[in-house]
Structure 1
Amino acid sequence: MEKAYRVKKSAEIEFIMKNKSSVGDGSFVIYKLVKKDETHFRFAISVPKKYGNAVERNLMKRRIREIVRSNHFLDGLDFFIIVKPKAKELNFQEVKIDLEKLFARAKINKG
């Protein structure tokens, strides 16, 4: 995933959370912000320390990045995915199913 598709700055993430609409379940929360001037979507992922050690947190981030890479999202959209500790119980397929359901509920998928 190219760096142009990532939200990096703390101020941008805070802006998404303040001016947002959100959807969630027990394992994930997605905040989204529609921006008219962007030509592609951008995203950020947060996995808190409560989730587990660095290896476990990085594994979850890699899984989410792969799921985001394999989906098609609307242009001009920033979204922020927060992982809850409950997601630790899920395997890759369950994470993919849960996130795709949330993407559909948030109406950020193209298809």
Structure 2
Amino acid sequence: MKKKYRIKKNEEFQQVFQKGHSMANRQFVIYVLDRPEQPYFRIGLSVSKKIGKAVVRNRVKRYIRQTFLELRDQVATAKDYVIIARRPVSEMNYAEVKKSLMHVLKKAGVLENHSF
């Protein structure tokens, strides 16, 4: 994923937390902030040490990035997303992570319904 599609700075994370709206399921919490001036979406990831050691956390982040890469045509643009992973994610495989992430994105109303 290119750098311009990522949220890295603490101020940007805080802006999404304070001004955006959130949606959650058992595995993920997602914050969404509208950015009408931005022609693309950006994502920020938060995977706590409670999830597991570095290997597990990095795997979870790879799964989330890959899911967004595959769904980029269906995810609403001009928005910032912050995804917070919860504990059950550490035992999930890629297909389960993708299904759960799609569920919470649909719940937040930012995923267009296409056949998968």
TM-superposed deviation, 1:39: 0.8
Q: Distance in 2 between matches of 1:37 and 1:110?
A: 21
Listed one character per residue, the Cα deviations across residues 43-75 of structure 1 (whole Å, up to 9, x for unaligned) are 111100000000100011001100010002222
SS of corresponding position for 2:50:
helix
Identity %: 34
Gaps of 5+ in 2: none
Q: Distance in 2 between matches of 1:75 and 1:84?
A: 25
Q: How many residues align?
A: 111
Instruction: Return structure 1 stretches of 4+ with deviation > 3 angstroms.
Output: none
Gaps of 5+ in 1: none
TM-superposed deviation, 1:110: 3.7
Query: What is residue 96 of structure 1 aligned with on the other side?
Result: 98
SS of corresponding position for 1:39:
coil
Query: What is residue 20 of structure 1 aligned with on the other side?
Result: 20
TM score, norm. by length of structure 1 = 0.95
Query: What is residue 59 of structure 2 aligned with on the other side?
Result: 59
Q: Superposition RMSD on alpha carbons, in Å?
A: 1.0
TM-superposed deviation, 1:26: 1.2
TM score, norm. by length of structure 2 = 0.91
TM-superposed deviation, 1:17: 0.4
